[in-house]
Structure 1
Amino acid sequence: MITAIRNLINSRWGVVIAIAFVGLIGVAFALGDVTGSGSFGGLGGANVAKVGDQDVSLGELDQALDNRLEAERKDNPTLDMAKFVESGGYDSTLNALLNRYALATYGADNGIAVSKRLVDSEILQFPGVKGVDGKFSRPAFEVFLRQMGLTEKMVRDDLTQNFYARQMLGIAGKAGKAPESLVLPYASLLLEKRSGQVGVVPAAAFVPTTPPSETVLAQFYKTNASRYTIPEKRSVSYAIFDASVVNAKAEPTEKDIADYYKTNAAQYAATETRDFTQVVFPTEAAAKAAADRITAGENIGAVASAVGLSASTKSGMTRDALTKETTKAVADAIFAASANGVSRPAKGAVGWHLARVSAVKQLGAKPLAAVRDEISKTIAGEKRGELLADLTTEIESEFDSGATIADMAKAQGLTVETTPMLFATGQNPDNPAYKPIPEMARILPAAFDLETDSSAQLIEIVPGEKFAMIAVAEAVEAAPAPLKEIRDVVAKQWALAEGDKKAKAVAEQVRKAIAGGKSLNEALAATGVRLPAPETVSGTRGQMSTGQQIPPPLMMLFAMKKGTAKTLSAGGDRGWFIVQLNEVIKGDASKETEMLAARRQEMEGLLAQEYIAQMINAAAKESGVTRNEELIARRKKELTTRGTNGQ
């Protein structure tokens, strides 16, 4: 199936959520682990849960997982389903899906309404669902659904659930003000300053002087195989196409153009427009009195100003446009007035309208010859969309039946290209200068998600406009590089690993010496090894939360008691730190007005998230969430084992 615009974990399809309330729902469903769970009972084998009286199918869960994985891959192209599941993505996606159902069920049971008209208005915001007249087009909507691989029920159900959540969570998230008894201590804590010393025991100071035996080196290589693993490489066959492949078939006939002109005759008929200045009066009597004064020669703006009102000017208004903007009575009155004349008072939606017409323009009818090219382009555009949707559906069907890229490319007059062996990032290990085409940003993630022996697939490059047929031409699984090819590298890392073990022992010796009363300088000197002199470090607790990269030893200072010392690995078999905390100066934010305001806002945001989480908890509890734990666990295991989305 064509992968469409999918962004969020809590919807089958990203477009709907994107158009709705990304910010609010993004916050709420980030709390995806708040769903309560119940014991399994009475659920169908294809349903992962039951929320109230609604079944949540395995298919819905799989779709949600696909959406979330695709979104995650934008930042991490090498991510596969197995890694995503292992990192907690499966559980958070399931919980978010159940939360969405619970909120909708709870809302409906407690009198919250989501009307069909509201859902209709949201559908009108989708791309490509309007006709050339700017109104909803059923054929265009059906093309949109086919391109997205959706049904109308799926669309409406998603929108309805999201509107329930929007109303409920919008209110729940409006937390009260954070109490000053919390704000001041919190802000003061961030101003707390700590200082101490850091000593270093480098692994390089303890590396063995004797090289390892072949047996020892082989064992180290085996134990640390992940360090030397070369990522999976794949060669991808692809054929890219866009709407140009159906251009010839999309050209309208003369009959098509004539029929369109006839159907939309009103659009091309003679039109009268008017420019006018109007005032809306609260009563008919006031409007009539003003009309007499304006007819007698007074300026309409001055008359309006004299009674505390203001005039507004409109230009190029047609009768239909004015009717939609006001009422039929107002439009009829203004279009009945002569040029430079005053209209009779007419009742509008909120008062009585009076206008002076400044200009009347007659626009002649547009003959077919004058608009033929315009109509031809419109029809061709609509036909291209329909033909392209039909073509993509046909290609997918053929692939499902075993057709190859070569078969379908030949049928459409396309050329099949094949990439060299690439990593999922697009890098060519055999040619560092290789630059993939821009479309590979979409092709490679999809290609690396395919089973190596699976049939070809169709994906979207630009939604609804540009596509690619893809298949795995060749694949080499991720595996460690042969030891003989990287022996020198492995030997150096073995030496550092051995040195790191000794460095750890020395660092512990120093820590114990400090605990016994020695200074850091004295403890380092007592090791008998020439080590770097310790450095003085200091910082505030607020620095730890700035998002900037903070040296681990400095961070360690804020997890210690004054006068103590701790050891900390430098990572990567590079050695060990000894961190000693010497001084703690408490902070006082009582006079930091801007800081207090920022911390207050921060705490209120946290309170809002907590209220939202509690709202979701309450909805889940009241609605009744019953999980099919056996099916949930089985599906999770399948996805982890296969490393694919299983579809």
Structure 2
Amino acid sequence: MISFIRKLLGSRWGAMFALAFVVLVGFAFALGDVTGSGSFGGLGQGHVAKVGKKSIGLGEFQDLLDNSLRAERRDNPTLDMAKFVESGGLDGTLDRLINRYALSAFGEEHGIAVSKRLVDSEIRKLPNVNGPDGKFSEQAFQAFLQGLDLTEQMIRDDFTQNLYAQQILPVAGVGAPAPNSLVLPYASLLLERRSGDVALVPSQAFLPTTPPTDAQLQAFYRANSARFTIPEKRAISYAFFDASIVEGKADATPQEIADYYKANAKQYAASQTLDISQLVFPTEAAAKAALAKLNAGQSMAAVASELGLSATNSSGVTREALTSSASKAVADAVFATAAGKTAAPTRGGLGWYLVKVNAVKQIAARPLASVSAEIAKTIEAEKRAELLSDLTSEIEDEFAGGATIADMAKANGLKVETTPKLFANGQNPASPAYRPIPEMQRILPAAFEMETDGEAQLIEIVPGEKFAMVSVADFEEAAPPPIAEVRDIVVQQWALAEGSKRAKTAAEQVQRAVLGGKSLAEAMASLPVKLPGVETVSGTRMDLNREGQQMPPPLAMMFAMKKGTAKTLDAGRNQGWFVVHLNEVIKGDASKDPQLVAARQQEMLSLLQQEYAAQLINAARTEVGVSKNESAIKDIRRRLTNQDAAQ
């Protein structure tokens, strides 16, 4: 998690996101992170769970849910909280949070230490907490915390829990390699082939013939409100500016040019560079022996070849560069040597340097008049960057003080634009042909993280060059629309749901007939409606694990069945039900495929390590004690899935 924080703490929300997740030695499946420290006391309406003596507060859990949703929306921008919760996000987030608390409590009970000094060392590795001297600054750290709306205790608790997990889980995951006697049967299973018959009983064949009553439709809509929820929409106001906004104020004056020339006189004075060849030896004696061969007429390349070395050739070497790479003594000796000569062996940073001067180049001094234009460009670039930095700081301060985009745009002669209400992915539901401007790729993610009634923000479009002032002009929260607006769609979905119920009954009738001795085709033909034909499918278990390919669900089910049995399988989205009959099982033999066995052995080692870690987490939870406030969790789930909002 600590390295993760350093990568993502480039922006306010990036930092919040980084502090919301922990990735620890391959065991991220078991852990989560928090941005709060929790609270103490008994399990009550203000808590979602109690772990040992510590309670997880509702506010802390809500913050982590919000951060988890933000993380998911990086890959799925239209995802809203209702869909996130329905897909298991609430349960997974709570379990990860409980795991963190349990490991921390377990570590404390068993004498594992996380000292204040260790936490301090991790805090010092965070970005933006050092002063101008490069050392940790309490003032910079407090500004960092304020920018994230966090307290020092929250950060400390976060690092403390992570450090406990880092000490416990890697040890738990250490185990011996799986023996061949265990791996071979597993590898052979991958080569097992199964085949059977599959038939689909579609919902469309069993749709109700009478329309639903209003009560039926309302009940269906309430129960499935998340399915019809429209994602949040926001209208974004923005105003762009770039370095040209300070152009007139950045011109270099003659005095500034003269002062710069004087301050950097060494850069423009006459100088000397060398083209050199060099060898480095561990001892002075070896370097002198090589010098003797050079003085006898051998080339540097020949001497190097005899010794099994390779000479380094460099052009345009300055005294400063050679001092930095070797030493001052080496540089002084070499720059005192004439062209075509070799300097006496001199001790440097890597050993004894033997350097031959191949050429000497004299660079004439450059007077002020000849470099004025060059200096002016440098000064103007520096002034532009400084003025732009001052302006952006001033704008951010004004926003923090309550100023609006309109205020700052007027003060700086900028034009404010406002988008229509858009989804997070930039789509305009009112105009499918709408295409957002390219800058929206940077603006929209930040705008959808902003508080709807919060202050405007400044966003970098091109780092250090182009900026946008951004605020939320209008918004519509994610919610199911009034049923009157989507009645036709709801009726259609209700009909499919009812058809799916009847299709399931028919599929179960077919299943019983197959188990009674009929073929799948005969059982399907006995139904009172005309249905699609029966298909034969076949595949190996390895097909299930093949990257980039998704095995059809009926074939995947065959590998969870006994030969000669029949099962039903939901086709999904109320489309109908499959009936699957397994006809044949051909066992595999991996004994003649050592590569497959070796790969499975490595895979099994990884699985065992994860299992060891998971078992330790379960043991920690059992030992410290975990209890959930099911009533509070139920209330949160109902509120976040908008079930109360469906009409």
Do the aligned residues in 1 keep the contact of 2:278 with 2:355 (CA within 8 Å)? Answer: yes
Structure 1 match to 2:44: none
Structure 1 match to 2:284: 284
Distance 1:615 1:197, change over 3 A: closer
Structure 1 match to 2:31: 33
Q: Percent identity?
A: 55
Q: Give 2:90's match in structure 1, choosing from 55, 64, 86.
A: 86
Q: Give the drift of 1:274.
A: 1.3
Question: Structure 1 residues 265-274 or 66-75, which shifts more?
Answer: 66-75
- Letter of the 2:565 counterpart: T
Do the aligned residues in 2 keep the contact of 1:287 with 1:345 (CA within 8 Å)? Answer: yes
Question: Following superposition of structure 1 onto structure 2, how do residues 3-152 of structure 1 map, counting pairs within 5 Å?
Answer: 8=4, 13-14=9-10, 28=26, 30-31=28-29, 33=31, 70-79=70-79, 83=84, 86=90, 88-89=92-93, 92=96
Do the aligned residues in 2 keep the contact of 1:217 with 1:494 (CA within 8 Å)? Answer: yes
In the alignment, the residues of structure 1 paired with residue 355 and residue 70 of structure 2 have an alpha-carbon distance, to the nearest angstrom, of 57
Do the aligned residues in 2 keep the contact of 1:568 with 1:577 (CA within 8 Å)? Answer: yes
Deviations 1:202-255 (A, max 9, x none): 222222333344554454445444444333333222112233323333444333
Distance 1:605 1:385, change over 3 A: farther
In the alignment, the residues of structure 1 paired with residue 263 and residue 168 of structure 2 have an alpha-carbon distance, to the nearest angstrom, of 46
- Letter of the 2:583 counterpart: N
Q: Give the drift of 1:597.
A: 3.9
Distance 1:399 1:293, change over 3 A: closer
Q: Give the drift of 1:417.
A: 0.5
Do the aligned residues in 1 keep the contact of 2:236 with 2:447 (CA within 8 Å)? Answer: yes
In the alignment, the residues of structure 2 paired with residue 225 and residue 57 of structure 1 have an alpha-carbon distance, to the nearest angstrom, of 28
Question: Following superposition of structure 1 onto structure 2, how do residues 318-329 of structure 1 map, counting pairs within 5 Å?
Answer: 318-329=318-329
Structure 1 match to 2:266: 266
Unpaired segments ≥5 residues, structure 2: 42-47, 49-55, 643-647
Structure 2 match to 1:588: 589
Structure 2 match to 1:3: none
Q: Give the drift of 1:13.
A: 1.0
Question: Structure 1 residues 476-485 or 230-239, which shifts more?
Answer: 476-485
Question: Following superposition of structure 1 onto structure 2, how do residues 473-512 of structure 1 map, counting pairs within 5 Å?
Answer: 473-512=473-512
Unpaired segments ≥5 residues, structure 1: 1-5, 43-47, 49-55
Q: Give the drift of 1:169.
A: 11
Structure 2 match to 1:576: 577
Does 1:379 pair with 2:379?
A: yes
Q: Give the drift of 1:601.
A: 4.1
Do the aligned residues in 2 keep the contact of 1:278 with 1:354 (CA within 8 Å)? Answer: yes
SS in structure 2 of the partner of residue 395 of structure 1 = helix
In the alignment, the residues of structure 2 paired with residue 248 and residue 65 of structure 1 have an alpha-carbon distance, to the nearest angstrom, of 48
Q: Give the drift of 1:507.
A: 1.2
Question: Structure 1 residues 521-530 or 215-224, which shifts more?
Answer: 215-224
- Letter of the 2:440 counterpart: M
Q: Give the drift of 1:400.
A: 2.8
Do the aligned residues in 2 keep the contact of 1:230 with 1:481 (CA within 8 Å)? Answer: yes
Structure 2 match to 1:525: 525
SS in structure 2 of the partner of residue 379 of structure 1 = helix
Distance 1:479 1:600, change over 3 A: same
Deviations 1:29-88 (A, max 9, x none): 62452899999669xxxxx9xxxxxxx999999999887655533212234578487364
In the alignment, the residues of structure 1 paired with residue 572 and residue 204 of structure 2 have an alpha-carbon distance, to the nearest angstrom, of 13
Distance 1:266 1:99, change over 3 A: farther
SS in structure 1 of the partner of residue 591 of structure 2 = coil
Do the aligned residues in 1 keep the contact of 2:232 with 2:424 (CA within 8 Å)? Answer: yes
Does 1:553 pair with 2:549?
A: no
In the alignment, the residues of structure 2 paired with residue 260 and residue 639 of structure 1 have an alpha-carbon distance, to the nearest angstrom, of 67
Question: Following superposition of structure 1 onto structure 2, how do residues 403-418 of structure 1 map, counting pairs within 5 Å?
Answer: 403-418=403-418
Deviations 1:143-185 (A, max 9, x none): xx9999589x99x999x99999999899979987554334333
Distance 1:572 1:291, change over 3 A: closer
Q: Give the drift of 1:343.
A: 0.9
- Letter of the 1:368 counterpart: L
Do the aligned residues in 1 keep the contact of 2:27 with 2:610 (CA within 8 Å)? Answer: no
- Letter of the 1:13 counterpart: L
Structure 1 match to 2:433: 433
Distance 1:97 1:460, change over 3 A: farther
SS in structure 2 of the partner of residue 414 of structure 1 = coil
Structure 2 match to 1:342: 342
Question: Structure 1 residues 578-587 or 492-501, which shifts more?
Answer: 492-501
SS in structure 2 of the partner of residue 33 of structure 1 = coil
In the alignment, the residues of structure 1 paired with residue 224 and residue 170 of structure 2 have an alpha-carbon distance, to the nearest angstrom, of 53
Deviations 1:457-509 (A, max 9, x none): 33333444433222222223444445445444433333332222211111112
TM-score (norm 1): 0.75
- Letter of the 1:86 counterpart: L
Does 1:188 pair with 2:184?
A: no
Distance 1:446 1:422, change over 3 A: same
- Letter of the 1:188 counterpart: S
Q: Give the drift of 1:295.
A: 2.2
- Letter of the 1:552 counterpart: P
Structure 1 match to 2:645: none
Q: Give the drift of 1:446.
A: 3.1
Deviations 1:519-546 (A, max 9, x none): 3233323334333332111111122222
SS in structure 1 of the partner of residue 322 of structure 2 = helix
SS in structure 2 of the partner of residue 442 of structure 1 = helix
Alignment: residue pair count: 605
In the alignment, the residues of structure 1 paired with residue 249 and residue 492 of structure 2 have an alpha-carbon distance, to the nearest angstrom, of 66
Do the aligned residues in 1 keep the contact of 2:33 with 2:97 (CA within 8 Å)? Answer: no
Do the aligned residues in 1 keep the contact of 2:99 with 2:617 (CA within 8 Å)? Answer: no
Question: Following superposition of structure 1 onto structure 2, how do residues 630-641 of structure 1 map, counting pairs within 5 Å?
Answer: none
In the alignment, the residues of structure 1 paired with residue 215 and residue 498 of structure 2 have an alpha-carbon distance, to the nearest angstrom, of 15
Question: Structure 1 residues 377-386 or 413-422, which shifts more?
Answer: 377-386
In the alignment, the residues of structure 2 paired with residue 460 and residue 195 of structure 1 have an alpha-carbon distance, to the nearest angstrom, of 58
Structure 1 match to 2:209: 209
In the alignment, the residues of structure 2 paired with residue 615 and residue 335 of structure 1 have an alpha-carbon distance, to the nearest angstrom, of 66
Distance 1:164 1:592, change over 3 A: same
TM-score (norm 2): 0.75
Structure 1 match to 2:52: none
Structure 2 match to 1:52: none
| CA root-mean-square deviation | 5.5
Distance 1:60 1:544, change over 3 A: same
Do the aligned residues in 1 keep the contact of 2:233 with 2:421 (CA within 8 Å)? Answer: yes
Question: Structure 1 residues 540-549 or 93-102, which shifts more?
Answer: 93-102
In the alignment, the residues of structure 1 paired with residue 388 and residue 195 of structure 2 have an alpha-carbon distance, to the nearest angstrom, of 67
Distance 1:35 1:394, change over 3 A: closer
Do the aligned residues in 2 keep the contact of 1:29 with 1:99 (CA within 8 Å)? Answer: no
- Letter of the 2:362 counterpart: Q
Do the aligned residues in 2 keep the contact of 1:194 with 1:557 (CA within 8 Å)? Answer: yes
In the alignment, the residues of structure 2 paired with residue 490 and residue 251 of structure 1 have an alpha-carbon distance, to the nearest angstrom, of 66
Distance 1:521 1:182, change over 3 A: same
Do the aligned residues in 2 keep the contact of 1:334 with 1:343 (CA within 8 Å)? Answer: yes
In the alignment, the residues of structure 2 paired with residue 329 and residue 612 of structure 1 have an alpha-carbon distance, to the nearest angstrom, of 57
Distance 1:617 1:525, change over 3 A: closer
- Letter of the 2:256 counterpart: D
Structure 1 match to 2:331: 331
Structure 2 match to 1:566: 567
In the alignment, the residues of structure 1 paired with residue 392 and residue 66 of structure 2 have an alpha-carbon distance, to the nearest angstrom, of 20
